[in-house]
Structure 1
Amino acid sequence: MTPSRRRDNLRMTGKLVVIAAGMFAFGYALVPIYRAICEATGINILALGERQLPGKSRVDPVNTQVDTTRTITVEFDTNVRGPWHFKPAVRSIEVHPGQLATVMYEFQNVQNRTMAAQAIPSYAPRQAANHFNKLECFCFNQYTLAPGERKEWPVAFVIDPKLPKDVKTITLSYTFFEVGAPTPPAPTASLIRTGEAS
């Protein structure tokens, strides 16, 4: 390799190193530059929320969707079609519309064989169904339990604040049945009020 060619290669390598270092420095500086621009222009709401104003302590945002002027009693009822122990951890709770609530349910397969099962929900009064929003629920899936196996699964829900004002109590009822057996009909309102867990 000739000396002039070697000089050209070293010069090109130097330029590439400078370009790579400049790109790294630019990428590193992007976050504070972006934050400064967003705070100056007010474009990024998250950046504005992080900024503390003088004389004010930082507090977590309040959920303005919760209607604290109303309290709804939610009752939990269970029915089983088959050899299961199935019950809620609590029989009822009181929540405000818009408030997130979670209730655990206990399951046990008391057969000496593996069984697959699923739960069907129903509501009383019937009009509550459109306002009872489940975010997490064991009723979304089928489950397989080994002989004697015990599980706990949650139901996380929010009651829509648009629930009619005259509804003060909602009963959430689940019927737990073996998959592969005939699917039971949803309980009627009279069964929901009188059903007891096994």
Structure 2
Amino acid sequence: MSANQQSSNATDKKFNRGMMLRLLVVVALMFSFGYALVPLYKKICEITGLNVVTTRDLYGGQVKNTQVDKTRTITVEFDSNARGPFAFRPVKRSMEVHPGEMTTIVYEVANGQARDISAQAIPSYLPKLATQYFKKIECFCFKEQTLKAKEAREMPVVFVIDPDLPKDVKNITLSYTFFEIGTPVAQAPQGPLDAQPAGAGKGI
């Protein structure tokens, strides 16, 4: 092997070692940056107040709170009305919540019929002014529900009460009317008198 070839091989090896070291440094920096993102994200949330809501479990059990208005407690009562051949009710009748706190309540529905049923839920609120402050994030009332024959299911409602709710409001009632839709309307039977033209049979 010539001297030039030996010199070229040595240069290549040196270059490869240098490139490998640079790559290792880049990988180490990437890992370090990834670990640093977690505390950095937490600090950003603390400064900007992004993490302002909390959650409860599906049955209203409280999970650790962060930034909510703990100086106020609102009693939310849950009501249900069924307009169809099914059972419909909330799993809890009331719950204590703080404004700004994300909360979940579950409603249960059961179709006792041997046929499928389509139904829709319509919410209402008391007092009426609470409507604009009761923010639903997830709700079965957002769309039509189809219940299979003999099906029972749990349907969650995830909501937040706006902290701007007037201070004198301490109780809110959320009521749902769940009614069957898509059923044909029975027509009144037509008798002989129904077929007569207007004015027929009347004395002159």
For Structure 1 versus Structure 2, the TM-score category normalised by the shorter chain is 0.5 to 0.7
> In the alignment, what sits opposite 2:143?
141
Letter in 2 for 1:67: K
Query: Percent of pairs identical after alignment?
Result: 46
Q: TM-score with structure 1 length normalisation?
A: 0.65
Distance 2:12 2:102 in 1: 62
- Deviation of 1:89 after TM superposition, in Å, equals 0.9
Higher relative contact order (CA 8 A, sep 6+): 1
Q: Counterpart of 2:84?
A: 82
Residue 185 of structure 1 corresponds to none
Q: How many matched pairs?
A: 164
- Residue 28 of structure 2 aligns with which residue? 28
* Cα separation, partners in 2 of 1:12 and 1:62, compared to 1, 3 Å: same
CA contact (8 A) 1:35 1:47 kept: no
Q: For 2:171 and 2:27, how far apart are their aligned partners in 1?
A: 57
CA distance in 2: counterparts of 1:169 and 1:144, whole angstroms: 32
What is the distance in 2 between the residues matched to 1:31 and 1:164?
49
**Structure 1: tracts of 5 or more residues without a match:** 50-60, 183-198
Letter in 1 for 2:134: F
Indicate the residue corresponding to 1:46 in structure 2: 42
**Equivalence for 1:66:** 69
Structure 2 length as normaliser, TM-score? 0.63
- What CA distance in whole angstroms lies between the structure 1 residues aligned with 2:21 and 2:27? 10
Quick one: distance in 1 between partners of 2:99 and 2:24? Answer: 51
Query: Partner residue of 2:49?
Result: none
- Shift in Å, 1:180: 2.5
Distance 2:118 2:9 in 1: 70
Return the offset for 1:170. 0.9
Larger Rg: 2
How much has 1:175 moved relative to structure 2? Answer: 1.3
RMSD: 3.6
Q: Which stretch shifts more, 134-143 or 173-182?
A: 173-182
Q: 1:26 to 1:117 in 2, by over 3 A?
A: same
